């Protein structure tokens, strides 16, 4: 997928479009007492596409002194933050890890996760994916009862509430449940206590979370691709509104007291369109098959005569193949992607002749010269990148460029973890499809019909708020930093 990081180390396509991915969480408990840090490392490596800003790992020995946690985190990619000596020093049979991009809170090392809390009942380590819509209020209430915050992220609000609830509950899982009843919005959590690994998913199921098993170890993580990477078998998804507690004595213990009626669930459809790795399955649905289906729908609903169908790497590729399969128009490769542009990438200055898009992407002239090309991409947010890629295809000799988008037009911001910007920054806001087509310079433009989205998710209930403004819960009036939305 065409991914990003914040600040001066940004993968420019997403900096320009404003669409950024979510975070990734990973937790493991080895019942045989083996060290797990290296496994967490490889799990995070598999989830790197979900966040390239910062990462971290925290581990503990369940047989050792209660509450002793070893952690390491920093800014950058997993293989930049962790050296072999870091992992060798991290001894423990239970651990959690996190890869992050910031949906709320600044891009600083202090905001990297997992968060580790020492409190009267022991120690908690927490990794969170998602955005809370009532974080600002909860934070304000905590501050006025004496809480001192070390970060600006809403994840710390969750950690504080778990710690506070633990003072009045018999078990840490009860504390997690009670804290989750106070928070609103999108969250998939992995919590490590001295003797338990806990996973929790919000009642709407915005963010994915699943359970895996490898020999005598259990894993809770964002995507099944992380299970495949470490050689674990998929057990099941954590259900929307479910809390699972994993211990050697009880195995997997489920609590569904927070669950909603199934028809009220609202998964983020962009997991299937864009965020997740194509080899993952989310709630029983293949991400790859979902993208193929999106391409087929585009071919059915927005046909056009052409010579070649191409995808914008990476998430546009499967949809382009689906368009080709449905239409009979040959599928080909038109773009060469530079896979070595990582954290150290310096964005060219505006005065520089180098195009920030061309640093990441170049066109194969031999593939498109003299041809009518259908270009499939996952989304158009601000439109600046689409304009440049269309122009690059024309400069390479394409006689026509027809753009097809495997999502509907963005018309509303997202408050649940997808960094869709304010309406005024969205190219489709207050513009017709024809006006957008003119702005990006395409010969034709077609979006995925919003009615097709649920079919993409095999009929599962989804959130469509960023397309039609119909949010499953009322949006916030301010974010974690107190800014008006």
Count the neighbouring beta carbons within 10 Å of the beta carbon of residue 116: 19
**What is the three-state SS of the chain?**
CCCCCCHHHCCHHHHHHCCCCCCEEEEEEECCCCCCHHHHHHHHHHCHHHCCCEEEEEEECCCCCCCCEEEEEEECCHHHHCCHHHHHHCCCCEEEEEEECCCCCCCCHHHCCCEEEEECCEEEEEEEECCECCHHHHHHHHHCCCCCCCCCCHHHHHHHHHHHHHCCCCCHHHHHHHHHCCCCECCEEEEECCCCEEEEECCCCCCCCEEEEECCEEEEECCHHHHHHCCCEEEEECCCCCEEEEECCCEEEEECCCCCCHHHCCEECHHHHHHCCCCCEECCEEHHHHHHHHHHHHHHHCCCCCCEEEECCCHHHHHHHHHHHHHCCCECCCEEECCCCCCCCCCCCCCCCCCHHHHHEEECHHHHCCCEEEEEECCCCCCHHHHHHHHHHHHCCCCEEEEEECCCCCCCCCCCCCCCCCHHHCCCCCCCHHHHHHHHCCCEEEECCHHHHHHHCCCCCEECHHHHCCCCCCCCCECCCCCEC
- Beta-bridge partner residues of 55: 74, 99
The active-site residue, picked from 23, 55, 414, 463, is 23
**Residue 414 bears catalytic tag:** no
Residues annotated catalytic, as ranges: 23
């Amino acid at each position: 997928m065409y991914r990003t990081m914040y600040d001066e180390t940004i993968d420019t396509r997403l900096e320009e479009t404003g669409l950024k991915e979510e975070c990734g969480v990973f937790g493991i408990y080895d019942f045989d007492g083996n060290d797990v840090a290296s496994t967490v490392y490889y799990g995070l490596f598999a989830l790197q596409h979900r966040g390239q800003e910062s990462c971290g790992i925290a581990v503990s020995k369940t047989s050792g002194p209660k509450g002793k946690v070893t952690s390491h985190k920093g800014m950058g990619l997993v293989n930049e933050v962790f050296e072999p000596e870091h992992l060798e020093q991290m001894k423990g049979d239970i651990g959690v890890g996190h890869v992050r991009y910031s949906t709320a809170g600044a891009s600083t090392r202090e905001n990297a996760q997992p968060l580790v809390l020492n409190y009267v009942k022991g120690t908690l380590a927490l990794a969170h994916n998602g955005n809370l819509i009532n974080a600002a209020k909860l934070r304000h209430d905590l501050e006025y009862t004496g809480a001192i915050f070390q970060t600006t992220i809403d994840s710390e609000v969750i950690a504080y509430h778990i710690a506070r609830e633990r003072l009045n509950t018999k078990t840490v899982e009860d504390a997690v449940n009670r804290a989750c009843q106070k928070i609103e919005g999108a969250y998939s959590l992995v919590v490590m206590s001295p003797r338990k690994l806990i996973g929790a998913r919000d009642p709407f199921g915005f963010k994915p979370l699943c359970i895996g098993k490898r020999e005598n170890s259990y894993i809770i993580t964002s995507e099944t691709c992380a299970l495949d990477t470490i050689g674990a078998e998929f057990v099941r998804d954590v259900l929307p509104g479910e809390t699972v507690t994993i211990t050697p004595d009880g195995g997997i213990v489920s609590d569904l007291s927070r669950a909603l009626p199934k028809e009220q669930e609202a998964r983020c459809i962009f997991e299937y369109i864009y965020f997740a790795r194509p080899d993952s399955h989310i709630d029983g649905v293949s991400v790859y098959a979902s993208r193929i289906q999106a391409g087929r729908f585009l071919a059915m609903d927005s046909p056009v005569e052409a010579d070649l169908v191409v995808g914008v790497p990476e998430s546009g590729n499967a949809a382009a193949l689906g368009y080709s399969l449905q239409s009979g128009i040959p599928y080909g490769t038109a773009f060469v992607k530079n896979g070595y542009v990582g954290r150290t990438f310096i964005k060219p200055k505006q005065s520089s002749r180098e195009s920030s898009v061309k640093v990441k992407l170049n066109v194969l002239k031999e593939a498109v010269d003299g041809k009518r090309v259908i270009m499939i991409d996952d989304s158009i947010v601000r439109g600046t990148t689409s304009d440049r890629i269309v122009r690059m295809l024309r400069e390479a000799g394409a006689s026509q460029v027809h753009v097809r988008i495997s999502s509907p037009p963005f018309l509303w911001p997202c408050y649940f973890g997808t960094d869709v910007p304010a309406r005024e920054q969205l190219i489709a806001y207050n513009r017709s499809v024809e006006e957008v087509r003119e702005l990006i310079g395409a010969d034709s433009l077609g979006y995925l019909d919003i009615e097709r989205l649920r079919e993409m998710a095999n009929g599962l209930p989804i959130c469509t708020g960023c397309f039609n403004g119909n949010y499953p819960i009322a949006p916030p009036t301010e974010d974690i930093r107190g800014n008006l939305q």
